[in-house]
Amino acid sequence: MKEIVDFLHNPQKYQEIGASMPKGALLVGPPGTGKTLLAKAVAGEAEVPFFSISGSEFVEMFVGMGAAKVRDLFKQANEKAPCIVFIDEIDTIGKKRDNGGMGGNDEREQTLNQLLTEMDGFDGSKGVVILAATNRPDSLDPALLRPGRFDRRVPVELPDLAGREAILKVHAKKVKLGDNIDFNAIARAASGASGAELANMVNEAALRAVRDGRKFVTQADLEESIEVVIAGYQKKNKVLSDKEKLIVSYHEIGHALVAALQTNSAPVTKITIIPRTSGALGYTMQVDEGERNLMSKEEIENKIATYTGGRVAEELIFHSITTGASNDIEQATKLARAMITRYGMSEEFGMVALETVSNQYLGGDTSLACSQDTAKEIDQKMIETVKTQYEKATKLLSENMAKLHELAKYLYEKETITGEEFMQILNS
């Protein structure tokens, strides 16, 4: 991106050596990571005119209109060169061409063909740079991605730990902060959040400060706002009966204990049994010490065991099970399946991919790519994996029954406890 800016500032040093500038750069990444923002920043730095248009603006009811708009856009750009043309959500018009469908589909293809022709036709040395953004790069037409059109693919990924900290500081400049705010702790807890979500967290913290009648934002506001973005607001009007509250406290302590008793699992930072608007009746928050990019087989297995811990605690204490574990079950099943189908962590199948992932930036839907017999085997392996971890969690909790009772009782009275309190009781 810096190179593009540099080229627009002083093209002659590139022309002397005979290098031509990439005509287009495609920004790909999940929603909310700042693709549009980056394009605006490039235009601002380069101090050139910036034409911004969204892919959907080309899509018209009448055949030929979209193509005419593309021609018009490039004509304007050529007159104003050097400049930057930015097409947002390019997958609207840049989808792979196929022979199916009539009418509306023809119009989209004409628009795409016109875009391809224009990108080939204009003179690169004039300094018209085309930037486009999408979060569905896999659905784009291969002709758009060939060298000479969108030569560069710039991944705008979710920010890492240092990135999150820096983004939080940028957004925090707009709000009044109290003393000694630890942005690093907030960034660690908000693992996997996009730039837009981090901005939302800072705003939620400011709103909470106003609600409590304070003039500045405290660390507690920021911590609570992470939970609001992850799990929704506290539901003040949802009152659990004493019996339910007791079940939820044992359930949450079950998760936390299993996590703490296993090596290789993220430390517990907070446990709460206050219902949230997302439907959760309580939750256990675990935060890794540093940034994590890889997970070992043992860690995934431990994670599955932690997910089963809640249900195990219910069964051990109340000898009956409730619907409270539905989300845990979903997560544990997902992990167990991924271990076998995507990460090649089973002895039977070894390093064979049995699943394909589409739309990796938009939730990543998966579809099985194997025969029915294999699918049956995968299901069996998956059930075995989860059962093994369930048994491991049962063993861990049975051996530490006294701590389970003590912690659950403490949580029941306090409703929210921190990781430090939890570890103190556990180690006492």
CA dihedral 187, 191, 196, 199 (to 10 degrees): -20
SS3 346: coil
Largest CA distance in the chain: 80
Among 303, 29, 290, 296, residue whose Cα is nearest residue 160: 290
Place of tokens 């023809």: 106
SS3 152: strand
The verdict on whether omega for the bond into residue 82 sits within 30 degrees of 0, i.e. cis, is yes
3-state DSSP helix/strand/coil % of the chain, to nearest 5: 55, 15, 30
How many whole angstroms separate alpha carbon 314 and alpha carbon 311?
Answer: 5
Report the relative pairing of strands 283-286 and 50-54 from DSSP bridges.
unpaired
Phi-psi region of 221 (alpha: psi -120 to 50; beta: other; left: phi over 0): alpha
Pair of tokens at residue 254: 């079950």
Burial class (CB in 10 A: 0-12, 13-18, 19+), 40: middle
Q: What residues form DSSP beta bridges with 259?
A: none
Which is the catalytic residue, given 107, 109, 252, 301? 252
Instruction: Mark whether 252 is an active-site residue.
Output: yes
Residue 177 has what DSSP assignment?
B
Q: What is the 3-state secondary structure (H, E, C) of 91-117?
A: HHCCECCCCCCCCHHHHHHHHHHHHHH
How many whole angstroms separate alpha carbon 29 and alpha carbon 323?
Answer: 36
Q: What residues act catalytically? A: 252
